[in-house]
Amino acid sequence: MAFTPTQTDTAPPVSASKGSTGRAGDKIFSGLSKGSGILLLVIMASIAAFLTYRASIALSKNEGNFLTTFDWNASANPPVFGIAVLLFGTVVSSIIAMAIAVPIAVGIALFISHYAPRKLAAPLAYVVDLLAAVPSIVYGIWGALFLVPQLNGLNLWLDEYLGWTYVFDKTQVGVARSLFTVGVLLAIMILPIVTSVSREVFLQVPRMNEEAALALGATRWEVIRTAVLPFGRSGVISASMLGLGRALGETMAVATVLSPSFLISLHVLDPGGGTFAQNIAAKFDEANEFGRDALIASGLVLFLLTLLVNGAARLIIARRKEYSGANA
Amino acid sequence: MAKRIDVSGLSAFYGNHKAIDDISMTVEPRSVTAFIGPSGCGKSTFLRTLNRMHEVTPGGRVEGKVMLDDENLYGANVDPVAVRRTVGMVFQRPNPFPTMSIFDNVAAGLRLNGTVKKKSELNDVVERSLKGANLWNEVKDRLNKPGSGLSGGQQQRLCIARAIAVEPQVLLMDEPCSALDPISTLAIEDLIGELKERFTIVIVTHNMQQAARVSDRTAFFNLAAVGQPGKLIEIDDTERIFSNPSVQATEDYISGRFG
């Protein structure tokens, strides 16, 4: 995920060669930075090439349709495997995670940056940053042992009152090892990163813009609505994409919580489903050479999915670039 | 429209530091009053007490009374938000909302005030305000372009248009030309001359020629020493301040003997 929020807002860097006077220091630094840039491209390209090569081996022998097949029988003869379930599960659990996490994260970020008294804001910000550092396996264990039983009640409640929406209709009994639970867990996991990037962006809103709103007779909420949120918009999108990237690729936490099955069901409360990363983690150890190639093919799709998501986010940001506040 | 400002015994603080001490003055409606004085004398702080912006600064606190006609701005039941809708402000650096178009910048105050106007009515007010700020002809073809794309002088006039769109009683200007070139400055000064027909205007300036050019009355602020609170030395007709002030310190400052 080569995507940082600062990249979106800053002007392109001044060409290094222009200021160069031919001194040794300039040359070394210019060479180093150019080298780092090229290295990054080389790494990206070799990852893509590796994935594509190994994936093509598996795909050429696949007897099923890779995109529409539900099952994953790479070791069968002939092999039949497809990503339909994985793509569905990955996207649905990430959408649930984003829907829960982004509004809460923006709320926390606004509270820390604009509402909380200073004495409270600093420790709160620190705690949020600390949460971002918790390893995902810890979240996974916590999710499986604590969150799953706790969410049983919520699942039943959603089923009873929102069951008519189809999405929240729980058709199978059993513990909440569902895509919904995975979404909730992912939401908790991405909350800190989305919060802390959003907070930084909100803190960068120029004081004079906020004063302009105040002097027009804006209340505190109106200041946030007219000056803070529009200014932070692209930053919040970037933050969400960082979170989404983590949610899409999250492995251990999902593998620990979900009880996988190769079914597609929009009843998100029902146990079952799967994600790319979870499927790879679950099968990689036991897979033979060909099975691994097949898993790599699914990894390639995940890779493309994240690229697509990032690209879309950049488009959204670029579309309103002249209003971003960067040229103020 | 325009109202008289009557300040009595006003002091302002940053935490425990007293920034201005015991200021009393009257500002007549439909006139321009200029505040001059050396840096740090508290003239900007005093200006910000007139629309309760001073207390927005952490630790900012005010004692004393500011009467706007019959209403004390620091009365117990007065909402600072309502005060700022009555007393508009233009800042030192042009600060249009960077995320908004020219049109939306001018309409921002109207939308805030909750009086959700009809689109046609909003169009009228925006056009009237931009004309009032002598900016209409320059921007009428690009109202949907971002305000931050204008030149500095145009941005400042946009901010003036934004401030007058909500029809305030008083317009406060905190060194509105100090970030502008001479031509833009002239445009703003001309504008001030027109605006005083409708508003009570108070302007802080470091430029004494500007004070002499635009204002009817001039107030001179000074401080005894660095760290001491600023005080109002005298306020009088501008002509008199610049020809025959009654306090020696004023004459010294104006003739460039200090400050």
pLDDT tens figures, A115-142: 998 899 999 999 999 998 899 899 999 9
From the list B93, B109, B145, which residue is nearest A217 (CB)?
B109
| Average per-residue pLDDT for chain A | 86
Percentage of residues of chain A with pLDDT beyond 70: 91
Within 13 A of B151's CA, how many CA atoms are on the CB side?
Answer: 11
A128 in a domain, yes or no?
A: yes
CA distance B72 to A290: 83
Compare all CA atoms of chain B with the CA of A118 and give the residue at the minimum distance.
Answer: B58
Out of A62-76, A165-179, A297-311, B222-236, least confident range: A165-179
State the best of B95, B104, B173, B175 to mutate against chain A, taking most chain A CBs within 10 Å: B95
Among B residues 83-112, those touching chain A with beta carbons less than 8 Å apart = 83-85, 88-89, 91, 93, 95-101, 108-109, 112
A144 in a domain, yes or no?
A: yes
pLDDT given for residue A2 in this prediction: 41
pLDDT given for residue A5 in this prediction: 44
A264 in a domain, yes or no?
A: yes
pLDDT given for residue B72 in this prediction: 93
Q: State whether A27 and A106 are in the same domain.
A: no
- Give how far B148 is from chain A: nearest CA, Å: 5
Q: State whether A203 and A287 are in the same domain.
A: yes
The first and second tokens of residue A87, run together, are: 């793509």
CA distance A194 to A3: 13
pLDDT given for residue B115 in this prediction: 66
What is the CATH architecture assignment of B5-254? 3-Layer(aba) Sandwich (3.40)
pLDDT given for residue A75 in this prediction: 82
State the best of A216, A233, A324 to mutate against chain B, taking most chain B CBs within 10 Å: A216
Mean pLDDT for A26-35 is 93
Q: B163, A231: Cβ pair inside 8 Å?
A: no
Q: Which residues in chain A are closer than 8 Å to B100, comparing Cβ atoms?
A: 226, 230, 323
Mean pLDDT for B12-32 is 93
Interface check for A24 against chain B (CB to CB < 8 A): the answer is: no
Q: Which residue has the tokens 């002030």?
A: B245
From the list B84, B97, B162, which residue is nearest A214 (CB)?
B84
Q: Which residues in chain A are closer than 8 Å to B98, comparing Cβ atoms?
A: 209, 231, 323-325, 327-328
Q: State whether A44 and A136 are in the same domain.
A: no
A16 in a domain, yes or no?
A: no
Question: B60-72 burial by CB neighbour count: b if 16+ within 10 A, else e?
Answer: bebebebbbeeee
Q: Which residues in chain A are closer than 8 Å to B89, comparing Cβ atoms?
A: 215
Q: Could you tell me the pLDDT band of residue A3, with boundaries at 50, 70 and 90?
A: very low
Interface check for A116 against chain B (CB to CB < 8 A): the answer is: no
Query: pTM of this prediction?
Result: 0.82
Q: Strands B87-90 and B230-237, how do they pair?
A: unpaired
Q: State whether A81 and A184 are in the same domain.
A: yes
pLDDT given for residue A125 in this prediction: 92
- Give how far A324 is from chain B: nearest CA, Å: 6
Among A residues 178-217, those touching chain B with beta carbons less than 8 Å apart = 206, 208-209, 211-217
Q: Is the dihedral of CA A131, A133, A136, A138 positive or negative?
A: negative
* Strand locations in chain B (E): 5-14, 17-27, 32-36, 60-68, 71-72, 87-90, 170-174, 200-204, 217-223, 230-237
Of A205, A223, A224, A244, the residue nearest A99 (C-alpha): A244
Interface check for A230 against chain B (CB to CB < 8 A): the answer is: yes
Instruction: Write down which residue in A61, A80, A112 finishes a domain.
Output: A61
Q: Which residues in chain A are closer than 8 Å to B149, comparing Cβ atoms?
A: 322, 327
Out of A80-89, A150-159, A295-304, least confident range: A150-159
pLDDT given for residue B138 in this prediction: 93
Q: What does B186-208 look like in DSSP terms, one character per residue?
A: HHHHHHHHHHTTTSEEEEE-S-H
Q: Is the pLDDT of residue A15 over 60?
A: no
Interface check for A328 against chain B (CB to CB < 8 A): the answer is: yes
CATH number at residue A135: 1.10.3720.10
pLDDT digits (tens, 9 = 90+) for B74-126: 998 999 999 999 999 999 999 999 889 999 999 998 888 666 668 888 899 99
Q: Could you tell me the pLDDT band of residue A19, with boundaries at 50, 70 and 90?
A: low
Q: A231, B91: Cβ pair inside 8 Å?
A: no
Q: State whether A56 and A90 are in the same domain.
A: no
Q: Which residues in chain A are closer than 8 Å to B95, comparing Cβ atoms?
A: 206, 208-209, 211-212
Q: State whether A40 and A134 are in the same domain.
A: no
- Give how far B164 is from chain A: nearest CA, Å: 10
Q: B148, A233: Cβ pair inside 8 Å?
A: no
Q: Which residues in chain B are closer than 8 Å to A114, comparing Cβ atoms?
A: none
User: Which of A11-25, A150-164, A301-315, B148-162 ranks highest by mean pLDDT?
Assistant: B148-162
The first and second tokens of residue A165, run together, are: 């929406």
Q: Could you tell me the pLDDT band of residue A21, with boundaries at 50, 70 and 90?
A: low
Per DSSP, what are the bridge partners of residue B126?
A: none
B101-105 CB contacts, 8 Å cutoff, 24+ apart: B101/A323, B101/B143, B101/B144, B101/B145, B101/B146, B101/B147, B102/B130, B102/B139, B102/B142, B102/B143, B102/B144, B102/B145, B102/B146, B102/B147, B102/B150, B102/B158, B103/B143, B103/B144, B104/B147, B105/B147, B105/B158, B105/B161, B105/B162
A227 in a domain, yes or no?
A: yes
The first and second tokens of residue A256, run together, are: 């620990």
Q: Could you tell me the pLDDT band of residue A16, with boundaries at 50, 70 and 90?
A: very low
Q: State whether A157 and A287 are in the same domain.
A: yes
Q: B91, A227: Cβ pair inside 8 Å?
A: no
A105 in a domain, yes or no?
A: yes
Q: B98, A209: Cβ pair inside 8 Å?
A: yes
Out of A59-73, A177-191, B18-32, least confident range: A59-73
Q: Is the pLDDT of residue A6 over 50?
A: no
pLDDT given for residue B1 in this prediction: 58
Q: Which residues in chain B are closer than 8 Å to A222, comparing Cβ atoms?
A: 112
Q: State whether A166 and A238 are in the same domain.
A: yes
Q: Could you tell me the pLDDT band of residue A328, with boundaries at 50, 70 and 90?
A: very low
The domain locations on chain B are 5-254
Q: Is the pLDDT of residue A289 over 80?
A: yes
Out of A63-72, B45-54, B78-87, B192-201, least confident range: A63-72
Mean pLDDT for A84-105 is 95
Q: Could you tell me the pLDDT band of residue A9, with boundaries at 50, 70 and 90?
A: very low
Q: Is the pLDDT of residue A178 over 50?
A: yes
Within 13 A of B41's CA, how many CA atoms are on the CB side?
Answer: 21
Q: State whether A57 and A104 are in the same domain.
A: no
Out of A96-105, A172-181, B63-72, B103-112, least confident range: A172-181
pLDDT digits (tens, 9 = 90+) for B53-72: 999 988 899 999 999 998 99
- Domain total in chain A: 2
Using an 8 Å Cβ cutoff, are A101 and A285 in contact? no
Using an 8 Å Cβ cutoff, are B252 and B69 in contact? no
Q: State whether A37 and A174 are in the same domain.
A: no
Using an 8 Å Cβ cutoff, are A209 and A227 in contact? yes
Q: A214, B162: Cβ pair inside 8 Å?
A: no
The first and second tokens of residue A213, run together, are: 């709103």
From the list A209, A217, A324, which residue is nearest B97 (CB)?
A209
pLDDT digits (tens, 9 = 90+) for A186-229: 999 999 999 999 999 999 999 999 999 999 999 999 999 999 99
Mean pLDDT for B219-233 is 90
Q: Could you tell me the pLDDT band of residue A164, with boundaries at 50, 70 and 90?
A: confident
Mean pLDDT for B22-45 is 93
Q: B159, A212: Cβ pair inside 8 Å?
A: yes
Q: B99, A231: Cβ pair inside 8 Å?
A: yes
Among B residues 193-252, those touching chain A with beta carbons less than 8 Å apart = none
Out of A246-250, A315-319, B107-111, B132-136, least confident range: A315-319
Of A279, A281, A290, the residue nearest A76 (C-alpha): A290
CA distance B125 to B143: 13
From the list B89, B113, B148, which residue is nearest A215 (CB)?
B89
A54 in a domain, yes or no?
A: yes
Q: State whether A79 and A190 are in the same domain.
A: yes
A193 in a domain, yes or no?
A: yes
Instruction: Write down which residue in A41, A61, A81 finishes a domain.
Output: A61
Q: State whether A106 and A172 are in the same domain.
A: yes
- Whole-complex ipTM: 0.89
From the list B83, B89, B108, which residue is nearest A226 (CB)?
B108
Interface check for A31 against chain B (CB to CB < 8 A): the answer is: no
From the list A212, A218, A327, which residue is nearest B95 (CB)?
A212
State the best of B44, B48, B97 to mutate against chain A, taking most chain A CBs within 10 Å: B97
Domain that holds residue A41: 22-61
CA distance A95 to A233: 19
Instruction: Write down which residue in A5, A39, A61 finishes a domain.
Output: A61
Using an 8 Å Cβ cutoff, are A97 and A183 in contact? yes
pLDDT given for residue A157 in this prediction: 87
Q: Is the pLDDT of residue B221 over 80?
A: yes
Indicate the helix (H) or strand (E) that contains A328: none
Within 13 A of A97's CA, how many CA atoms are on the CB side?
Answer: 32
